[in-house]
Amino acid sequence: MGHIEDQHYINLVLNGNTNAFATLVDRYKDMVYSLAIKMLNNKEEAEEIAQDTFIKIYNSLNKFKGESKFSTWLYKITYNTCLDSLKKNKKEKKVAYIEDFSEHQTKALENSFDAIDEKEKHQAIQECLEELPSDEAFLITLYYFDEQSVEEISKIMNNSVSNIKVKLFRTRKKLASILKQRLEPEIINYYE
């Protein structure tokens, strides 16, 4: 999925081969949908957003200048489309409060996490991500699951690199707090 290969299909579409757009859709549809589901937490809305995103991309493909990767541009459009939907629906998610963790508490959390298997870890993380506000879940998804760099995320989210680093730090603390609240009772019950 290289930058040059994406540009090849973009050029085909811009030169009138509209069928070449299907290749780009196939390549990025799962990514767009998973980002939308993380932000909206609703399958039907995520499907609509994914469709809207690809329509927007098709209609503005001539505006893509290639200054960043196509996937970064795609993330940005997806993110903005999700934000528009959230504003329109005025959805508010409950916010977990940040707890300060001592080194001992952090180590205890890591040990608790080691005690559960990979499938349970993945499910626990997904459930905890759902408790985060949508923009924070999106940030964690971009950084850890989609392995985007802080620089790419700053372009996607229209924030400075230092702002993204701060948000990432705070969101990790918030996620750790949620994980701690969720995992400790399970681990304690397991060993009782």
End residue of a domain, out of 67, 89, 111 = 89
Please tell me whether residues 85 and 114 are part of one structural domain. no
pLDDT of residue 47: 92
88 confidence band (pLDDT: 50, 70, 90): confident
Q: Judge whether residue 103 has pLDDT over 60.
A: no
Q: Judge whether residue 129 has pLDDT over 70.
A: yes
Please tell me whether residues 81 and 119 are part of one structural domain. no
Alpha carbon 58 to its chain centroid, in Å, reads: 22
Q: Judge whether residue 113 has pLDDT over 80.
A: no
26 confidence band (pLDDT: 50, 70, 90): very high
| Any domain includes 73 | yes
Q: Which domain holds residue 116?
A: 103-191
The number of domains in the chain is: 2
Please tell me whether residues 123 and 44 are part of one structural domain. no
Please tell me whether residues 71 and 119 are part of one structural domain. no
| Any domain includes 12 | yes
